[in-house]
Amino acid sequence: MTRPVLHDYWRSSASYRVRIALHLKGVEFDRVPIDLTAGEQKADDYRSLNPQGFVPLLEMDGKRLVQSLAIIDYLEAARPDPPLLPADPADRAHVLAMAHVVACDIHPLNNLRVLKYLVGPLGLDEAAKTEWIARWIADGLAALEATAGPRSGRFLFGDSPTLADICLVPQLYNARRFAVALESYPTLLRCDAEAQALKAFAAAHPDRVAP
């Protein structure tokens, strides 16, 4: 059987999510680095694989899968053990909501193409860009802290990592890169520490795959 191939960028938080999920599921894979800073995602050969020109792209089971949450949803269906979402519908919705706070509300406003537009066509200086980053990260993390707190265990939901933790850890990595203050989010910090102590999360860390 052909090994899965993950096209990713080492510091992309969406790629980081998929690496974590693959490691948690015990799926061995090869990587094809795509340098976003050099614009390799815009090349014709890559767009022939993923017309949107984003990372990650996972080639697995004869399929080409794009968008990090869709890829993880495929992994959850195709490799159900260990589960990354609860079986109970209400619990599943709770975990998905926490994941979406990161993937839909925080991350899109802080990804590379948005930041390039802020400093390029819109002409924001570095201080204004940093303020933009911190504002949207802080808003999202405050909501996530309040949502997770009452039902958290070792992780954001219970005592096993879920999709919510897979989204949280890369987002906190980004927050630290941009020197966002995190002391107001004790639940998130505790769950982040628990997750990063696991081999699957540690193996996916950008420092482990950096060029």
By CB atoms closer than 10 A (0-12, 13-18, 19+), residue 31 is middle
Residue 76 confidence (pLDDT)? 98
In whole angstroms, give the CA distance from residue 89 to residue 137: 28
pLDDT at residue 1 is higher than 80: no
**Which residue range forms the structural domain that includes residue 41?**
5-82
172: tokens are 């906190």
Q: Are residues 144 and 128 in the same domain?
A: yes
43: tokens are 């090349």
Specify if 208 maps to a domain: no
Q: Are residues 57 and 149 in the same domain?
A: no
Q: Are residues 13 and 78 in the same domain?
A: yes
Q: Are residues 98 and 195 in the same domain?
A: yes
Least confidently predicted of 71-85, 98-112, 194-208: 98-112
Least confidently predicted of 29-38, 81-90, 108-117, 195-204: 108-117
pLDDT at residue 63 is higher than 80: yes
Residue 181: band (very low, low, confident or very high) from pLDDT cuts 50, 70, 90? very high
In whole angstroms, give the CA distance from residue 97 to residue 106: 13
Residue 60 confidence (pLDDT)? 97
Q: Are residues 188 and 119 in the same domain?
A: yes
Residue identified by tokens 């939901």 is: 157
Q: Are residues 59 and 144 in the same domain?
A: no
Specify if 57 maps to a domain: yes
8 A C-beta contact, residue 63 and residue 78: no
CATH number, position 71: 3.40.30.10
Residue 132 confidence (pLDDT)? 87
Specify if 36 maps to a domain: yes
Stronger pLDDT, 117 or 161, i.e. the higher one: 161
Q: Are residues 46 and 149 in the same domain?
A: no
The percentage of the chain sitting over the pLDDT mark of 90, rounded to a whole number, equals 86
Domains contained in the chain, number: 2
- Domain ends where: 37, 55, 82? 82
Q: Which residues contact 181 (CB under 8 A, 6 or more apart)?
A: 134, 138
pLDDT at residue 211 is higher than 90: no
Residue 109 confidence (pLDDT)? 86
Give mean pLDDT, residues 29-43. Answer: 95
Residue 32 confidence (pLDDT)? 97
Q: Are residues 76 and 97 in the same domain?
A: no
Least confidently predicted of 3-12, 34-43, 118-127, 185-194: 118-127
- Domain ends where: 82, 114, 144? 82
Specify if 118 maps to a domain: yes
Contacts 24+ apart (CB under 8 A), 117-121: none
193: tokens are 């520490």
79: tokens are 């490799």
In whole angstroms, give the CA distance from residue 211 to residue 11: 10
pLDDT at residue 114 is higher than 90: no
pLDDT at residue 22 is higher than 90: yes
CATH number, position 113: 1.20.1050.10
- Verify cis geometry, omega within 30 degrees of 0, for the bond prior to 56: yes
